[in-house]
Amino acid sequence: MTIEEDPHAGLGAYVLHALSPADDAAFENHLAGCDPCRREAARLLETTARLGDRARSVPVAAQARARTLRTVARTRQDRAPHRSRAPGPRTVRLALAASLA
């Protein structure tokens, strides 16, 4: 499934700057006309900024960071199954927080 097929599926990846340039442009086009996605994107951007600020204050061993990045690079990323409705803000925030932790 692509961003053009289900633009709502790209919200989390968009906020984390994880979309391809083409998908990023398609999602931005979607945002221009979707108030709920714009509001949720703003909330998620605020949440990721807060988490990023907190994460900078926690020391991480260079080996742990390198191991994590290697694992992420070789882990296949699955798209979420299609849902009949978009997840609520709390669900998205919890998932985002868990993935950043």
pLDDT number for residue 44: 92
CA distance 71 to 84: 32
pLDDT number for residue 24: 87
Number of domains in the chain: 1
Q: What is the mean pLDDT of each run of 10 residues along the chain (101 residues)?
A: 69 86 88 92 91 79 87 73 57 69 59
Tell me, yes or no, whether 50 lies in a domain.
yes
Q: Which domain holds residue 30?
A: 7-74+87-100
CA distance 29 to 38: 11
Tell me, yes or no, whether 2 lies in a domain.
no
**DSSP classification of residue 1:** -
Tell me, yes or no, whether 82 lies in a domain.
no
